[in-house]
Amino acid sequence: MHVEHLFFKHHKGDDYFFKDLSFTLEKGKMHALHGKNGVGKSVLFDILHKTAPCNSLFLGKIVSEKIECLSQQFDITLANEFTFLENLQCSSFKKFPSPFRFLKQVDHFGSIEIEKILLRFHIDPTLLVHKLSGAQRQILALLMKLAKKPKILLLDEPTAALDEENATMVFEFLNSLQNITLFVICHDQKMIHRYATGTHFTLKKHHDGSRILIS
């Protein structure tokens, strides 16, 4: 992914929030983004994922393959009264679910073998989602995003609501993903240094109010 000369304003009359940001994410690696609360990390992800508000102003060039983004509130993406497996199966529905097709067996998403994931992270696929641990729910939310076969995955604080054991489990899962570029917002420096093999970025507020990205 290449971002070249990115300029961004929340509203047309505002000062620039991002001024001339340029960076590259190396393919297949986990890149980290950190910075203080409110500095604009999630805003940057919205721009990269092309979900910034329509009344904002965006200039610049983003060259990337298919992107998916998982927000901090990953729980809202899951159907709690359904099992892990049903959530996975339903995530591969097309835009208009058919009354003539039944749920398909899900063996793998691209190179990810579901059976291996279930064994490695001790997940019972027949359990209802609300009975799974936080890390298992996060892994499910990630798998559902991976069902769309993205090349780049943006993760906004994927372990914010998890304890250390569960956070390690999620990072272990992310680490096992191959051929996917990950860009992760994370405040946990220990996890970042252990798992993020790509560039580490810090987003800071410049004295003129705009944000600068330091790698």
Partner 1 sequence: MIEQFFILLPLVIGAYITFSLLKLPDFSIESAYLFGAVVSYLCRNLELPIVIFGAIFGGVFVAFTVSALNTLLNIPFLLRAIIANGLFHGVTQYLLGTSQKSFHILSSISSYTICLGITLALILGFGLLIYSELGYALAIYGNNPKFFENQGISSKYVVSVGLALGYASSALSGFLFALCNGFVDLTMNYGIILLCLTSLILGKSSYVYFFQKTRQNLVIPFLGLCIYCVLQKLLLKVGLPLKYFNAFQALCIVATLTLFKKTKQISFDHLGV
Which lies closer to partner 1 via its Cβ, residue 79 or residue 119?
Answer: 79
Which lies closer to partner 1 via its Cβ, residue 13 or residue 97?
Answer: 97
Q: Using the rule CB under 8 A, which residue among 61, 103, 108, 165 binds partner 1?
A: 103
From 11-19, 25-33, 82-90, 173-181, span contacting partner 1 (CB under 8 A): 82-90
Residue 91 binding partner 1, by CB under 8 A: yes
Of the candidates 19, 23, 20, the residue with the CA atom closest to the CA atom of residue 1: 23
From 51-59, 73-81, 158-166, 184-192, span contacting partner 1 (CB under 8 A): 73-81
Shortest gap between Cβ of 42 and partner 1 (angstroms)?
Answer: 16
Q: Using the rule CB under 8 A, which residue among 99, 179, 207, 214 binds partner 1?
A: 99
User: How many residues of this chain bind partner 1 (CB under 8 A)?
Assistant: 24
Residue 53 binding partner 1, by CB under 8 A: no
Angle, CA of 151, 176 and 35, to the nearest 5°: 70
Q: Using the rule CB under 8 A, which residue among 22, 79, 116, 176 binds partner 1?
A: 79
Is the alpha carbon torsion for 181, 187, 192, 198 positive or negative? positive
Q: Which pair of structure tokens corresponds to residue 30? A: 């986990």
Contacting residues for 4 by C-beta, under 8 A, at least 6 apart: 22, 60, 61, 62, 63
Interacting residue ranges for partner 1, rule: CB under 8 A: 76-82, 86, 89-91, 93-103, 144, 148
